[in-house]
Structures are given as structure tokens and as C-alpha cells.
Amino acid sequence: MMQRRDFLRLLGVGGGAVFASGLAGRALAEVGSNKKAGAYDDFYFVQLSDTHWGYKGPANPDAANTLKNAVAAVNALKTQPDFIVFTGDLTHTTDDAQERRRRLAEFRDIVSGLKVKNVRFMPGEHDASLDNGAAYRELFGETHYAFDHKGVHFIVLDNVSDPGARIGDAQLEWMKADLSRQKKNAPIVVLTHRPLFDLAPQWDWATRDGAKAIEILMPYANVTVFYGHIHQEHHHRTEHIAHHSAKSLVFPLPAPGSQEKRAPLPWDPAAPNKGLGFREVEAEVEELRYRITELPVSAG
Amino acid sequence: MKTLWWTVLGVGLSGICLGAALGVGKDAANEQVIQVTAQRFTFTPNEIVVKKGRPVVLEFSSLDFVHGFNIPSLKLRADLPPGQITRVRFTPDRVGEHPFVCDNFCGEGHEDMHGRIVVKE
């Protein structure tokens, strides 16, 4: 198991050589503060998102190299993560079904260069919405699934194979049944592409039936959601459920709802990776703590 | 051409008059009827100016895809299947601007497919 001091050292070096901003927004998976909640160990995983392989445009003239640079940056981490997750928009959309498959296959070939072989994928709307996930499933398998890692239960939700951004009742029922096997205080992480809450529906930054998913998750005390789609770091809570979006690996987008158009931020040739990055997520077992509050002798 | 009538009602929303949405016939003469074309990746027109207090009927024709029409600030949305007219009715009761967006992912220019409704006195 990785030692805490090693992890801190990692923070000081990490992927900063390529993506200096990539480590600034490291999010801690809030998996609870009581070991009794579940027998889990410290570990960390890496989240990469919105690589948009196949994109060609002024928002990133270097797009043909950015994904490869990200793979190199992850491989350069001194302590390798337990696993790596890509939260959708692996490829940039195309109307051409053959080209879609070619881009997905190229993406798969590039990320096969990651040292860590435990890699989890899910589609974004660019990968899956135009064919309801058909090409994605051919190359990567199911678009929603669950897995466990060191006592943490992970649920991958597909909110993109429906072009209307619905998870759908069948998948919601599946999630409900999956969760029914978990204790109410179990550490649960949801990985998905779009925000489950209405972050900026006027920019289509939402999941149409995301509220139903949140309602199903609500009885569980330790739930954290990691997602992509919005090409920037963002942190939000729906009651006790934390939602953390990740930066993109192609181009950054403006702050939610900050302007009329959700156009990419202009590319800066002096800082070509500005606003891009990836994230380390550490699941940390917190030790028992005592909070001490000193009180004066009240008068009278 | 097959015609489908849509009346989209928001629940608990401001800016929409439920009575006007249901009483189509009563205010028909007073309606502002606006034809809107949805085609990848634009709404035409994409700026729709309407008068406060007068019922509005947006008549959508989609040419190439089941686009979505969503005005989050008015809690109004509809799917826009090609080959039919989709009508969205509302009565604006407040001056202001309401952005709308295609919320069915329709391709590479999907992010550009948006517009706004401007409500004037």
C-alpha cells in the first residue's frame, strides 16, 4: 500500500511537468470518517476526461499530441495509481460510423501505453449519442457497470447513450438493485460523464433524469460523484453527496452559464496546456480524531 | 403532413399562464404564432421577440433530427421530430430574456445550437 508520505511527495512532482494545473484541483474522495463504515485501505486512482481524440480545430492545434502527453504524464507518476478512469468523450464526435470506430480504436491503442493496466472507461455523448453507444460497446464493452476496489463500491452510469441525456428507467432500476446490496454507510463512488444535477441546463450541462439517480443515492451516507463533460474543475453538493467535475484533455470551457455561448476558451500558444489536466483522487482512511473546544467559565 | 399538437405546461413556474395554455381557442386571435426551423446546428430564427402578456405559439419544423427545445428558465421543453409541426405554447408575463438550447445531442455543432426569447412590453 502506498505510504502517505510517498503520496505527498507525488503531489510535489506528479504530472506537473506536463500539466502544471493538473494537480491543483486534487479532490479527496470523501469516503467517510469512520473505519467501521467499511474495511477499506488507502489508495488512489487517476481520473482523465474529455480527451476528444480526433478533434481538429483552433481550440487546440496540438490535439494530436495532448492525449499522448497525458499518457506520458501518468506513466511518469512516481507512485502509480491503483487504477485509471476515463470519464467519457474519449473521442470527438463524427457522423461517419466508420470514422467513429477508427477514432475509438486509435484512442484505445494510445491509452494501451499506460503502465497501469486496470483502466476503466465510459462513453461521453461525443462517443455514443449518435448511435446509442453501438460503436462504443463494440470496442469497450458495457456502458454501465459496477466494480469494487479495496472496499469502495464504484458505479459507472451511462447518461449519454440516449442523445436526450437520460439515464433511463432500466438503468436506474439496475442501480437501485446494485445499491440494495450495499450498507447505507458503505463508501460509494459514482463515475459518469454529465453532471447528475442541473449545473447549467441552458448549456445542456445536466442529465434529464439525474434527479432520479440522486434520489436513489440519497439514502447512502458516503457517496461521491466524479464526472466530466464541462471541461473544468467544479465542485458541488446535493445535500451530503459531493460532485466533482474534471478538467478536459483537449480544451477548456467557460465557467457554467458565464456567457451566452459555451464556446471553448481561446488557445494560448504561450501556454498550450493551460486549463487542461487530469486528477488524482485519493481514498484516505481518516483516523479517529478528537475536536477540543475550550470554554470559559461563564459569568453568573 | 401529419400534425401533432403539443401543449407543454410547466409546473410551478413563473412567466407561464396555465389558463392561456389550456384555453387555446379563447385567445387564438390574440396569439403570436412564430414558425421556427430546427436544422443541424441552428434554430431559425434564433432570437425570438414576443410581447409580454400575449399568448405565444412556437411552431417548430425540424428538418433532419429529433432536436430538443429547452428553455430552462421557463421550464419548457419539447422533442422536435422531423416531418411534423411541434407546437409549444406559453404566455410570457414578464419582460426579459430566456435562453433556449437544443438538448438532444445532434452532432459536432450541437454546442452552437441555441438562441433566446426576448420578451418586450
Burial code (b: 16+ CB inside 10 Å, e: under 16) for A114-125 equals beeeeebbbbbb
End-to-end CA distance of chain A: 56
Query: B72, A260: Cβ pair inside 8 Å?
Result: no
For residue A160, list chain B residues with Cβ-Cβ distance below 8 A: 105
**ipTM exceeding cut-off 0.95 for this assembly:** no
The CATH label, of 3.10.450.50, 3.90.79.10, 2.60.40.420, 3.40.50.2300, for the domain at B3-120 is 2.60.40.420
Burial code (b: 16+ CB inside 10 Å, e: under 16) for A200-231 equals bbbbbbbbbbbebbbebbeebbbbbbbbbbbb
Cell of A149: 476496489
**Mutating which of A162, A166, A202, A208 best tests the B interface, going by the most B Cβ atoms within 10 A?**
A202
CB-based contacts of A239, cutoff 8 Å, min separation 6: A218
Domains of chain A with CATH codes: 4-283 (3.60.21.10)
Distance from CA of A173 to the nearest CA of B (A): 23
Going residue by residue through chain A (300 aa), what tens digit of pLDDT does each one get? 444 333 333 332 222 222 222 222 334 443 333 444 444 568 999 999 999 999 999 999 999 999 999 999 999 999 999 999 999 999 999 999 999 999 999 999 999 999 999 999 999 999 999 999 999 999 999 999 999 999 999 999 999 999 999 999 999 999 999 999 999 999 999 999 999 999 999 999 999 999 999 999 999 999 999 999 999 999 999 999 999 999 999 999 999 999 988 899 999 999 999 999 999 998 876 666 677 878 878 765
Query: B103, A95: Cβ pair inside 8 Å?
Result: no
